[in-house]
Amino acid sequence: MHLSKKTAIGIVIALIGFELALISGCVHALARSDFGKTLLQALIAPSAAQAASKRLFVRFNPSQFQKVAYTLPAQQEAPEQPYAVRQAAAQEKRTGQYLYGHPKARFTLVEFSDFECLFCKSFHHTLKRLVEASQGQVNWQWKHLPLHPPTSRQLAKAAECVAQQKGNRGFWKFAEALFAHTRGNGAGVPNLEALLKHAGIHFPRYRACLRSGKAAARIETMRQEALALGIDGTPATLVIDHATGNRQLIRGMQSAQNVIAALQRMLINARQTAPKTSIQPSDHPVTADKAPKTRRRP
């Protein structure tokens, strides 16, 4: 039988419409059945662990860090622009407790770092972006571990004495300035005095701070904390979950994705163990009382 082209096209369209109606009916019937509901829930609903992570890290998507570039800032003789105001760093005058992020965040990243460590310099920007993207769920605490004597110890003492005058926020602004200008590996910054002037430091008080030995004592206390944790290199980051007390040590410079993965593993573990402890403020995490739970990298 010979069909015109127009008739053939009409038959094809009719068959396609019939098939679509049949498929729609099957899907509707499946969705109304108990088996269909179970199947659709399995396909659509996230796992319990994924749901827990989603509830905690709203808008905290690891993919946003995929384009983070570990590039070193240009070296300059002196800062040409005012340092960015670190809004995430509370303006507190307490010395020796340097916290970036919400003081009562669930997670604290206790980083042992060195101003002359180029890996620390790169990792510094990673942690800053991660904390700022966590919507108040993660904060970051600095601990000195100077491993390029005498320069790194000199810069650590300078940062301590800046914090004595300028507080917590002043410490973070000065730390960022040091990383922006250091040549690394013990070579130091070209003009430390220019950075101190730009930070608005009162030099007689600054020199008195250095002479007092208090800054050196605080740095030594932090170094002893690192030794108690088995840390002998920088950067090293102790992750603390204040809801459970669980801790995990991350060694070396890591990508933001790796840090987030560690946080998510701790979330999954917390959900499986159903902790009953409440979230405690993380103004001054204790790092040396017990050994952390470590995970070996494959």
pLDDT grade, residue 295 (50/70/90)?
very low
Return the HEC string of 226-251: HHHCCCCCCCEEEEEECCCCCEEEEE
pLDDT digits (tens, 9 = 90+) for 19-45: 555 555 554 554 454 434 433 343 334
Mean pLDDT of 120-137: 95
Nearest Cα neighbor of 179 from 124, 131, 132, 100 is: 124
Per-residue pLDDT for 13 more than 90? Answer: no
Average pLDDT of the residues in 279-297: 44
287, 230, 260: which is closest to 63 by C-alpha? 260
Residue corresponding to tokens 């003081």: 103
Which of 209-213, 269-273, 278-282 holds the top average pLDDT?
209-213
Q: What percent of the chain has pLDDT over 70?
A: 59
Quick check: bond before 235 cis, omega within 30? Answer: yes
- Tell me what pLDDT residue 14 has: 56
Q: What is the mean pLDDT of the chain?
A: 75
Among candidates 113, 102, 103, which has minimal Cα distance to 143?
A: 113
Would you place residue 7 in the very low, low, confident or very high pLDDT band (cuts 50, 70, 90)? low
Beta bridge partners of 250: 237
Check residue 272 and give its pLDDT: 83
CATH for 89-273, options being 3.30.470.10, 3.30.565.10, 3.40.30.10, 3.40.50.300? 3.40.30.10
State in Å, rounded, how far the first CA of the chain is from the last one: 69
Segment 78-87 mean pLDDT: 36
Query: Which pLDDT score, from 0 to 100, does residue 213 have?
Result: 96
Q: What is the residue whose two structure tokens read 């933001």?
A: 256
Domain map of the chain by residue range? 89-273
Q: What is the pLDDT of residue 271?
A: 85
Mean pLDDT, residues 85-92: 51
- Count of CB atoms within 10 A of residue 230's CB? 12
Which of 57-61, 281-285, 289-293 has the largest mean confidence?
289-293
Q: Is the pTM for the entire model greater than 0.75?
A: no
- What is the Cα gyration radius of the chain? 27
How much of the chain, in percent, has pLDDT values that exceed 90?
57
* Helix axis angle, 214-228 to 151-181, nearest 10°: 90
Question: CA dist 170 to 24, 92, 207, 209, Å?
Answer: 64, 9, 17, 16
Supply the pLDDT for residue 97. 82
Which residue has better confidence, 68 or 133?
A: 133
Binning pLDDT at 50, 70 and 90, where does residue 79 land?
Answer: very low
Tens digit of pLDDT for each residue in 208-234? 999 999 999 999 999 999 999 999 999
